[in-house]
Chain A
Amino acid sequence: DTEVTQTPKHLVMGMTNKKSLKCEQHMGHRAMYWYKQKAKKPPELMFVYSYEKLSINESVPSRFSPECPNSSLLNLHLHALQPEDSALYLCASSQDYELAGGNEQFFGPGTRLTVL
């Protein structure tokens, strides 16, 4: 199984809502990533988890809260988002973070988020 799954595929939420994005992989990868991608732009790194511990937070606003319940799951909790947060949110995984240079990142299909 070389697949990264993400749910939901689409999400529309108001600025006062609380929602969560979910990501799952069963490749035994120990590094998982959240990216944000705006239209016609490359993905921007948000968070990196390595062995279920947060390793990188690219100065992401606190209204985005990541969580890694176990080695296969990665969540992104959303609260009080702004319309400019509307984007495609991509999850990715790789075998190992410290050896990231030698490993391939597998991306999920993404969640299309719209904040009204």
Chain B
Amino acid sequence: KNQVEQSPQSLIILEGKNCTLQCNYTVSPFSNLRWYKQDTGRGPVSLTIMTFSENTKSNGRYTATLDADTKQSSLHITASQLSDSASYICVVTARGYGQNFVFGPGTRLSVLP
């Protein structure tokens, strides 16, 4: 069964600190992996998208890594800001005909002053 797991479920850090969120998946055959940021009550916004051959991708203070062998991804946030408080969702897409977006449960990040 295609599944995406994320850890931790929630995280609280102080402003300016770094943090790393984890995503493990069993989706097969793998096409790509996306990290989304979702503010409460708003739609998800894409941070990064990674295909099988990509190991690292950055978007400002966000850096995603992908290990396709172990089926793990991480999202590292550097020098956190209060505006980083949100849910971060890992979405893995299976390759093949049509839609097969598998959503993780998300990690709720709270950045405190």
> Which residues on A sit within 8 Å (CB–CB) of B95?
101
- A81 interface residue (CB < 8 Å to B): no
Q: Is the CB of B97 within 8 A of A98?
A: yes
Which one of B31, B42, B101 lies within 8 Å of A105 (CB-CB)?
Answer: B101
Which one of A43, A104, A109 lies within 8 Å of B42 (CB-CB)?
Answer: A109
Q: Is the CB of A40 within 8 A of B108?
A: yes
> Which residues on B sit within 8 Å (CB–CB) of A112?
41
Q: Is the CB of B100 within 8 A of A100?
A: yes
Closest beta carbon of chain A to B22's beta carbon, Å: 16
Question: Provided the pairs A41-B105, A100-B98, A100-B100 are in contact, do residues A107 and B49 lie with their beta carbons within 8 angstroms?
Answer: no
Q: Is the CB of B100 within 8 A of A107?
A: no
Docked complex Cα distance between A109 and B43 (Å)? 4
Q: Is the CB of B49 within 8 A of A104?
A: yes
Q: Is the CB of A102 within 8 A of B43?
A: no
Q: Is the CB of A97 within 8 A of B99?
A: yes
> Which residues on A sit within 8 Å (CB–CB) of B89?
42
Question: Provided the pairs A101-B32, A104-B34 are in contact, do residues A45 and B99 lie with their beta carbons within 8 angstroms?
Answer: yes
Residues of B within 8 A of A (CB): 31-32, 34, 36, 41-46, 49, 89, 91, 93-101, 103-106, 108
Residues of A within 8 A of B (CB): 4, 6, 31, 33, 40-43, 45, 48, 55-56, 88, 90, 92, 97-98, 100-102, 104-110, 112
